[in-house]
Structure formats: C-alpha cells, structure tokens
Copies of this chain bind each other. A is one copy, B any other.
Amino acid sequence: MKKLINGTDTLLAESLAGFASAHADLVCLGEESKFIRRKFGSRGKVSLISGGGSGHEPLHSGFVGHGMLDAACPGQVFTSPTPDQMVAAVRSVDGGAGVLLIVKNYEGDVMNFEMAAEMAGGSIAQVLTTDDVAVQDSLFTTGRRGVAGTMIVEKIVGAAAELGMDLPACQALGERVNKATRSMGVALTSCTVPAAGKPTFDIGPDEMEIGVGIHGEPGRRRIKLQPARAIADEMVSAIVGDLGAREPCLLLVNGFGGTPAMELYLMYHNARRIAEQQGVVISRSLVGSFVTSLDMAGCSITLASLDDELTRLWDAPVHTPALRWGM
C-alpha cells in the first residue's frame, strides 16, 4: 500500500486538521474535532448537516459553507460517523429554524443519524439519498445507494435554506431533488482502505466493474475494458431509462479519486453526446472529483432533471472549499 500518511490511526485527524487550517476563512473544526462547521451564517435559517465515512472527499466537509452545508461529520474511512458526532454537530449549528440531515443510504449512516436525531431532540428532519441506479440492494444498503447525486441535493437545498425556506419545505425539496437525480459508476481499479492495507476487491488488468459503489461494492457486471463511448453509453442509457423525465438536466461527471481530469472531460464529452442523442437537453454541467472512493480509478455519471426552480437554486451563490460560484 502506497499512501502519503503517517499511520492509519492518525490519518483522519491529520487530514481534518489540514483541511480546517487550509480553509480557515470558511470553516472550523467543531468540539473535539467531531465535525467540520461553517464559520459564519448558520443563525436564523434551517441548518443542513451531512456526514458519512471518510474517503469520499471533498464530500462532505468540502461542501460546508455559504449556500450548502452548515456542518459535516466525518467517520473513519468508509465507516459511519457516530451518533455522538452528529449530536454535537446539531447542537453546534442549530440556528433556531431546525436541522435537516442529509443521509446517504447506507445502513450504518441511516441507523446512526436516526439515533442522533432521537438523542438531540428538537426540530430535526431527514432526507435520504438513493440516486445510484446500478443495483437494488448492495453490501451495506437496503434499496438504492446514495452516491454522487448527494452533492446536488446538498447544493440545491443549501441554497433554499439560505433563502429562508422552512424545514418541512427543505425536506420536501430534498426529496424532490433526490427523485430527480440518477447516477451510475464504473471502476477500472479498486480502492485501498488504509487500515486494510490491500485493495478492497481484485480486478484483472483488462477488466472493469460496471455499476460499482463508492466503497468498491459490486456493481452490475464485471466485463472487459471497453472504449469510453461504450462505457458512457451503458451508464447514460441506464440512467435515462430510469429517470424517464425529459426536462433540462444537469450532467455531472465525477472522478473517483484516481482519474485524471483529461479522462473525466473525455467521459463528459461522450456522455453528453449520448444523452443528447437520447433526447436529453444538458442545461448545466459539472466535471471533477467531488464524491470519491479514495484512490479508485473510474468515474460516475449523474443526471439531475432541473425545472426552473431547481435551476435557480443550483445557480444560486455557493462559497465552500470545493464548490464556489456567484460570490
């Protein structure tokens, strides 16, 4: 295992310390480093909290800031944060208008966020993200997995909360965005969890995993490496077939951590052409490594159907370490 670390036991703490220090203008470490919170602006609005296992950076800590999250709770690598962390985050950022938890659909996260909501009491609602069309159930999930589409929910609901939307409406909006969003991934290599010290799964030098999860969970099938256009075709077709809607869409091509920008833009080019051939109008675009799987090579494609309201909220100002526009 080759990683730039001092030891697996200090990896998360050192990485979080670096993150908080590099972005000290926007965020700070919460009590006992249990969470990352925004430095300003959580009062008087619905507060958004997300979290999950580390290893998917910049999700979620990189999305803490104006127009997106109020706090993020990072667990150990690919391990749910504890209810304790979530309760501390709720108490720290609740600005009086209630708290919305945005939870990716993995059993540990779902259970711990639920427990935290009970423990914290007060006005708390939840949105569960389930955008991965690849498989119905999975290693750590009953139902569909929540993957890259989660950042779209965080961005759009974050903008609405900033504009003063109340908690029930924020929750309903989050569920609407999740329903309008579909993703699918492909892995060329496995990721390596530091504490495990070896690749999560074995994959041949000429193979790829279509429909892989963001923890390296199995997808739909293991096949020989295909040209980018064939990969994009399978993924976009699965997404469009499932999404149904034909409103203008946001197209997100998301790298898994080990994929160069050149390849992501090439995948974007292929995915866009195929989506357009299938009648989808691409009205917004995002390309980069936002919801990663440590060092895995591969990418996911996401389409989110955006009506006028969702488009306005997507375009609204955001100022976080990993996403920034309009201010």
Residues on A lying within 8 angstroms of B by beta carbon are 2-7, 11-12, 14-19, 21-23, 54-55, 57-58, 62, 77, 186, 188-189, 205, 208, 225, 227-229, 231, 257-270, 272, 285-287, 289, 292, 294-295, 297-299, 324-325, 327
Min CB–CB distance A207 → chain B (angstroms): 9
Q: A269's contact among B17, B266, B295, by CB below 8 Å, is which?
A: B17
Tell whether, in the assembled complex, residue A225 and residue B2 are in contact, meaning their CB atoms are under 8 Å apart: yes
Q: A18's contact among B12, B16, B260, B266, by CB below 8 Å, is which?
A: B266
Across the two chains, which residue of chain B brings its CB closest to A293? Answer: B260
Tell whether, in the assembled complex, residue A227 and residue B5 are in contact, meaning their CB atoms are under 8 Å apart: yes
Contacts of A55 in B (CB 8 A): 260, 262
Tell whether, in the assembled complex, residue B261 and residue A11 are in contact, meaning their CB atoms are under 8 Å apart: no
Min CB–CB distance A268 → chain B (angstroms): 4
The interface centre, meaning the residue of A77, A231, A289, A295 with most chain B CB atoms within 10 A of its CB, is: A295
* A294, B261: Cα distance in complex, Å: 8
Min CB–CB distance A90 → chain B (angstroms): 25
Copy number of this protein in the oligomer?
2
Contacts of A228 in B (CB 8 A): 4-6, 14
Offer 17 A-B interface pairs, CB within 8 angstroms, sorted by A: A2-B208, A2-B297, A3-B188, A11-B262, A12-B262, A15-B262, A18-B268, A18-B269, A19-B265, A21-B269, A22-B268, A54-B262, A58-B261, A258-B258, A258-B297, A261-B292, A289-B289
Q: A4's contact among B3, B299, B324, by CB below 8 Å, is which?
A: B299
Tell whether, in the assembled complex, residue B54 and residue A2 are in contact, meaning their CB atoms are under 8 Å apart: no
Tell whether, in the assembled complex, residue A259 and residue B227 are in contact, meaning their CB atoms are under 8 Å apart: no
* A152, B270: Cα distance in complex, Å: 32
* A23, B58: Cα distance in complex, Å: 21
Among all A-B residue pairs, the 7 with the closest Cβ atoms: A18-B269, A18-B265, A57-B261, A2-B188, A4-B263, A18-B268, A22-B285
Min CB–CB distance A270 → chain B (angstroms): 7
* A324, B3: Cα distance in complex, Å: 29
Min CB–CB distance A131 → chain B (angstroms): 20
The interface centre, meaning the residue of A7, A21, A231, A289 with most chain B CB atoms within 10 A of its CB, is: A21
* A238, B298: Cα distance in complex, Å: 35
Tell whether, in the assembled complex, residue A5 and residue B263 are in contact, meaning their CB atoms are under 8 Å apart: yes
